[in-house]
Amino acid sequence: MSKRKYQTDEKAATDLAHALMELPEEWVICRDMRHAWNVLNDFHVTKSDKRYSQEIRRELVCMRCATVRNETYHHGRFGLEKVSQNYGYPEHYQIKGVPRGVKPQSIVQEEQYRRAMERIAGKAKKGA
């Protein structure tokens, strides 16, 4: 590996670590253990281009990080069938620079571990 490539990778890793340290605690929890959803706009029928099909939507919001999840359903043979969902994230919520092949959740869990160790070290210092 060339020295230049290594320096670029090292800078990217440093930038990623810094970005993780800046994430609020609530966002780290959501990234690791999933969102705590609350209904923002319950099931409701919206217009549909299809003659015999209605589109049904629901909006959820995370109580910790304010991510919004929009779900779309159609009536199917066996009841409601989810056909799509998309998310609206708060600014700076998404983690940039995660290396290919690395799961973002594993990086977030490493950050949670680092923060937990800092808390333990802080308590030990106060007790000493």
CATH of the domain at 77: 2.20.25
Alpha-carbon radius of gyration of the chain: 21
Please report whether residue 30 resides in a domain. no
Residue 80 within a domain: yes
- Can you give the pLDDT of all 128 residues of the chain as single tens digits? 455 444 457 777 778 888 888 899 999 999 889 999 999 999 999 876 666 668 899 999 999 999 999 999 998 888 999 999 999 999 989 888 888 888 888 889 999 999 999 999 887 777 66
* pLDDT at position 48: 66
The number of domains in the chain is 2
Those residues whose C-beta lies under 8 Å from the C-beta of residue 57, and which sit 6 or more positions away, are 41, 43, 44, 46, 70, 71, 72, 73
Specify the pLDDT at position 5. 47
Rounded (10°) angle between helices 104-127 and 25-33: 130
Q: Which two tokens stand for residue 64?
A: 């910790």
- Co-location of 62 and 42 in the same domain: yes
Separation of alpha carbons 82 and 102, rounded Å = 29
Identify the pLDDT of residue 50.
Answer: 64
Same structural domain, 55 and 73 = yes
Query: Are both 86 and 100 inside the same structural domain?
Result: no
Question: Would the pTM count as exceeding 0.85?
Answer: no
Asked if residue 42 and residue 12 are part of one domain, the reply reads no
**DSSP output for 55-70:** EEEEEEEETTT--EEE
In which domain, by residue range, is 62 found? 35-93
- Token pair, residue 48, equals 């549909």
Q: Do residues 43 and 85 share a domain? A: yes
User: Letter for the amino acid at 13?
Assistant: A
